[in-house]
Amino acid sequence: MADEAGYYRMAADDLHHKTGLPVTTIRQRLAEQPALSAKLKDFREALGDRSAGSWLDSLGDGRAHVGVLDRADEDRATKNGLVPHRVRYATAQLDRVKAALDEVGKRQVMPPNSAWSVDTRANRVSLELSARQPGGLSVQQAARKIFTAAGLTQQEQARVRVDTSRSTLSRHGLVGGDDIQVGGNDCSAGLGILQGDNSTYILTAGHCGNVGDSAWRNDGGTIGTISEKVFGAEGDYALIGVRTPTSWRPFGNLQKGSPEGTFNTYKGWVTQSQLPDLESMYACGSGRYLRWECGSVVDSNASMTDEHGVTTNGLVRAINMRSQHGDSGGAVMWGGMGLGTIVGGNGQGVTYIQPVARVIDAQPGRRLLDWQKW
């Protein structure tokens, strides 16, 4: 059983320091997120192709908001106790543009340090490009080149907001959670996965190592070897096959301390997995330098091209979660659900997360491992 009360208590403590809101107010609003999320999902499904996005303002007015295309849907939203916002584009129109940009990314021809996602509140696709473009191109020239490669029409291009960034998008170094070594890299035991009845794996980032690389505990004992790796457009994760699960287990609680002295595990919080189907849900992560910090999920299908030109699609993008080198592998969760593993970010509050739900869905018979029963 997931320790949701413990999650909300620690999440509220972090968000109190950020916002100044009373802890009791934050805990109540975080606890209300699942019910409001379900209400918004019902509304979006009822609108069908006219759905134009939704979000929560948990730490603002505490209400659920929806984008609507016409007066009839505006009235419908109000009658359902939702806050309507008149917008121009349906979600499906924005998703088609995002999918076209994803195809460019799959060909690994996006310029380094690029990121793109659907910005629900702005009702646009956000394309973030580095101010330092290859070949001395301006940001606008680079954007036009991308639009051409994606085959976007003028109408579709109008749905894209091009932003300029001076940040570097890095795959974070791999320390966080229980400290492990893979090859010559410091890695993390973030989440456990069961395949069938008796195959046990530890999830980490795909850029941690290669298939066949051995993994060791921080006391030098052998864990196992990497048996599966995905690194590129389809994801950024690796599964370490645990040779003897009963001989090694995490401590079973979350600890915070100095980067050198303690590691982070997650007591009963990651026994289920789920992708958030709603922007602005608050999620919390833990890593070597991140410690314990909560941020807002702004897209559950974001893409990034890192500083080396490698693109990954299907990531969760969170803001106000200040991960950095050394935090990859730390688990990210929301409520009683395991969300995924930190894989990168810009070092200035934007964090990218590999969703564990997509790892589980990649093969039949997979489920999150309850570490309390390991």
Provide block-wise average pLDDT over 10 residues at a time, the chain (374 residues): 65 89 93 89 95 93 96 98 98 98 94 95 96 94 98 98 89 54 68 80 83 79 87 91 64 38 42 59 77 86 92 93 77 77 87 88 81 52
Q: Which residues of 114-124 are buried (b: 16+ CB within 10 A; e: fewer)?
A: bbbbbbbbebb
* Residue 244 pLDDT: 66
CB 265 within 8 A of CB 178: yes
* Residue 272 pLDDT: 55
| Total-model pTM | 0.83
Alpha-carbon span 207 to 229, nearest angstrom: 8
* Residue 131 pLDDT: 94
Alpha-carbon span 3 to 305, nearest angstrom: 35
* Residue 181 pLDDT: 72
Q: Which residues contact 175 (CB under 8 A, 6 or more apart)?
A: 186, 187, 188, 259, 287, 288, 326, 327, 328, 329
Alpha-carbon span 359 to 239, nearest angstrom: 9
CB 321 within 8 A of CB 14: no
Both tokens assigned to 232? 């590129």
Longest dimension (CA), the chain: 65
Strand partners, 116: 127, 303
